Amino acid sequence: MLKLNKLVEKRDAEGILEYAKEFHGHICPYLALGIRASLIAMEELGVGRLDYSGSVDESILAIVETNSCFTDGVQVATGCTLGNNSLIYVDTGKTALTLVKRETWEGVRVYADSEKLRELYPPRATKLFNKVVKERRGTPEERKELWRYWEEIAKEFLHLPKDYFKIERVKVPPIEQAPIFESIRCSKCGELVMAPKVVYINEKPYCRACAGEEIPAIIGRGITSWRCSK
């Protein structure tokens, strides 16, 4: 298997999808769409996949607006991940990727319109999707049939013509590099907490969970408040 950076350099979308399948767990249309959008954005911006030093310096950032399968395609193709602080999640709920150079804050935003893409789905696939995924029912045979359609549509999405997307040059307001904070120990659970997340009650430090605060969390519906049962 070729290295991912090489596959991106050669614009081998099928090869990238193989890696993405390992990472994401399955092949689906929006995983492929994330790869396609990334390849377009990298080409338009004239950059490659994050390399060793780029991933340390956060030289390129990927700003995603959805936490769907699309975003896993973006992480695999661009190398910008949640963990290397090069993936920024903006909670607008749109299928869009903005790739931006930290050097100049010039970026390219690639937006995909789900309604426009829907016309590419065979009617049978839409029917199966509603039954198996939306309503969470469907026989094992129907599930298998859906996955077959999914792979088929995904392979088509890997090579979607650019005019299926809205592609625009954007200037992105500068985003700070991930700061390193000191850690403070919670006086209830004894765990270490990143300083800005510490809550003081009667001058004693607590983690947000022990303080009983609502904590912003990214769940299926996006960023929302969540109460941890610690």
Total of residues contacting Zn ion (CB under 5 A): 8
Work out whether 210 is an interface residue with Zn ion (CB under 5 A): yes
Residues 56-115 that bind Zn ion (CB under 5 A): 69
Q: Out of 7, 28, 108, 158, which residue is the one contacting Zn ion (CB under 5 A)?
A: 28
Q: How far is the CB of 106 from Zn ion (least distance, A)?
A: 31
Map residues 138-177 to x or -, x wherever contact with Zn ion holds by CB under 5 A: ----------------------------------------
Question: Can you spell out the DSSP letters for 105-167?
Answer: -EEEEEEE-HHHHHTTS-HHHHHHHIIIIIS----HHHHHHHHHHHHHHHHHHTT--GGGEEE
End-to-end CA distance of the chain: 44
Q: Which segment (6-14, 30-38, 99-107, 155-163) binds Zn ion by CB under 5 A?
A: 30-38
What is the sign, positive or negative, of the torsion defined by CA atoms of 31, 168, 108, 64? negative
Question: Of 183-202, which residues contact Zn ion (CB under 5 A)?
Answer: 186, 188-189
CB closer to Zn ion out of 150 and 165: 150
The residues that touch Zn ion, with contacts defined as CB under 5 A, are 28, 31, 69, 186, 188-189, 207, 210
